[in-house]
Amino acid sequence: MLKQATVFLVASAGLLAFAAHAYADDDADYDTSGYDTTYSTYESPGPYSYAWTEPYLPSEIGVGVNIGGGVAGFTDKAMRDTLSSNVEGLWDARVAIGTHIPLGLELGYVGTAQDINTINGFSNGTLVGSTAEAALRFNILPHNDFTPFIFGGAGWTHYAVRNMSFATADSGMKSSDDVAEFPMGAGLSYRDVSGLTVDVRGTFRAAASSDLLIDPRTGNEADLHTWEASAALGYEF
C-alpha cells in the first residue's frame, strides 16, 4: 500500500509540474508588444510585404473604428461667396475593414456645417451637409505601424438649410438638395501596440450636378465639389 501511495504521489507531482509548465508557456503566449504569439509557427510579414493576412492581429486583417473632425470647404467661388467663410467645420465616423492587408473597405459618415449669408450680407441660417459613403482603400505599407493609403469611392450627400431667417431668394440657395459625390484622397494611419490608432487624411469630393445654388452672375448651377482635411482617433483589432 505504501509503495502504491508513493507511486501515486510521484505521478501526481509529475502531473502538477507538467501543468505548471504548460501554464507558464500559456502566459508566454503574449509578448511585450501585446501581440498574440500563440501560433508560434506563423511569422509576421515584413514591413514591405503585401501578404493578405496579419496573423498577430485578432482579426488577422485589421478592423478599425475611428471618430474625428476637421475642416472642409467648397471649391466653387459662387458657393464660397454665399457662405460666411471659406472653411466649414467637419465631423466624421468611419469603420475600416482590411487596414493591414493590401486592399480594404471604408464605410463612413461625414457631417459639415457653415453659416449662409444673404445677398445683403446678413446671416440666413446654416447649411448642414450629411454624407454617407463607401470607399476602397489601398494600403501602401499594410504591415507597417505607419500605413500610408489612398482611397476612392462613392456616396450621397443631403444638404439642408437650418434656422433660415429670410426667404431663400435672399441668398439664392434652395432649402435642401441631394447629390451624389465621389470621394478620393490619401492619408496616413498609425497603430499603437495597444490597438489605438491615429488617422490623418486629405479628401477631394467630386459632386454630381445640383441646383442647390444658382450663380447669380452666370445663371449656372454652382458646383458642389468639396475638399477636406481631417484627423481621427480610434481602435483597431
More confident site: 60 or 120 = 60
Residues above pLDDT 70, as percent of the chain: 75
Give the pLDDT of residue 45: 82
Distance CA 129, CA 89 (A): 10
Residues 54-63 pLDDT 10s = 888 999 999 9
The count of other CB atoms within 10 Å of the CB of residue 103 is 12
Query: Which pTM value belongs to this model?
Result: 0.76
Cell of 182: 465621389
Residues 151-164 pLDDT 10s = 999 999 999 988 76
DSSP notation for 91-128: EEEEEEE-TTSSEEEEEEEEEEEEEEE-TTS-EEEEEE
Distance CA 156, CA 208 (A): 10
Give the pLDDT of residue 119: 59
